Chain A
């Protein structure tokens, strides 16, 4: 073995069952032990590796990460929702690719629908109401919302509501059968559909003085839910939400800001 070959072998050496049992590595190490110049080179390599490893190993996770992992873990394997194209095993509310559109969706669905509707929809939903889970999720979603681009992940972008409606109808995805007059005057931004706990949900975003997100799903998905003729206004962290139903659909409107501010649109 010549020095160049020894260097190639020792270049990425570290103590490991594979390298330690390798006769070539043993030979290269022996060569370094008897060649001061090679040994000096090898020590420099090892110092480089140690220094870089030290840098990476000193990366500290956020102090609350472990608690978040435990708190946000589904109690059952059926709590995840999916956005088409992201795969069925993905928690869509956590995915950066989907976060832009899912943040407000989750916030409302979990906090608005979660407390308003799921309370009445059977024991398999009860876990979602766990305050710690809800609070953790709300904080998380609010955090990611500020880091994402709302425009990026629409299924379809258009200002014209008729175009958005046509697109969603063609996909057989929920779209509002009726809109509050003030909302109807606003230009649209885009739309997307996804499933949440097996329920198909449509989301249409509007650009007014700020961005408004309107979620719509079939009324039949929540058979035990009483009608909500007069929108219920809630405040969920920095989001205001308004929830109402008609005979066919359930609506949740959300935007950053005071919940009471939504009343003027309804």
Chain B
């Protein structure tokens, strides 16, 4: 069945939804930390596409456009909290914390998302997009409207922060948390 031409007439809306609703939802869920906001952000993104997608000149950039739009919607909803993070933290751990793949493997998705919520917002979106693996570095930069160098820098710092968060949680675990179940 043909679907209405929402957005660009050369892009089938239903196919677009088929292709991107899941990755966009994952992005929204990882940013917002809950399923309701994630679904809302995803729906809103497609709605904005329906209204404004026709203004996108380069059809090959539709993926970045959708991620950008979702991210902007997230920022708009979270404007107040974002305003409080206007300055990129200067003091960061210079030493990279040890990697802990085993610690990650015992997490479930919800716990991983919970830890992402503890990241400074400035690092959160690049890190999430990096781990969702839907976008290249260049597309992440385009989606977040950042220079590629800034993206790389934020990824590096963000990952270090994330590992610190995990280490801190690990240290705070009670002995019984670590016992076999």
Contact = CB atoms under 8 A, between A and B. Distances in A.
Contacts of B29: 59
A186 interface: no
Interface of B: 3-4, 6, 13-14, 17-18, 21-22, 25-26, 29-30, 35-40, 42-44, 46-48, 50-52, 76-77, 96, 99-101, 104-105, 107-109, 112-113, 128, 130-133, 136-138, 148, 152, 155-156, 159-160, 162-163
Contacts, number: 138
Interface string A42-54: 0011011111110
Interface stretch (A10-18, A161-169, A215-223): A10-18
Contacts of B21: 61, 65-66, 69
Interface of A: 7-8, 11-12, 14, 16-19, 41, 44-45, 47-53, 55-62, 65-66, 68-70, 72-75, 77, 80, 87, 89-91, 94-97, 143-144, 147
A45 B99 contact: yes
A19 B140 CA distance: 14
Interface majority SS (helix, strand, loop, mixed), chain A: helix
The 3 A-B pairs with the shortest beta carbon distances in the complex, nearest first, are A51-B104, A47-B101, A61-B25
Interface majority SS (helix, strand, loop, mixed), chain B: helix
B51 A89 contact: yes
21 contacts: A11-B96, A11-B156, A18-B137, A50-B101, A56-B26, A56-B30, A56-B128, A61-B22, A61-B42, A65-B21, A65-B39, A69-B21, A69-B43, A70-B3, A73-B6, A74-B50, A91-B47, A94-B44, A96-B37, A97-B77, A147-B36
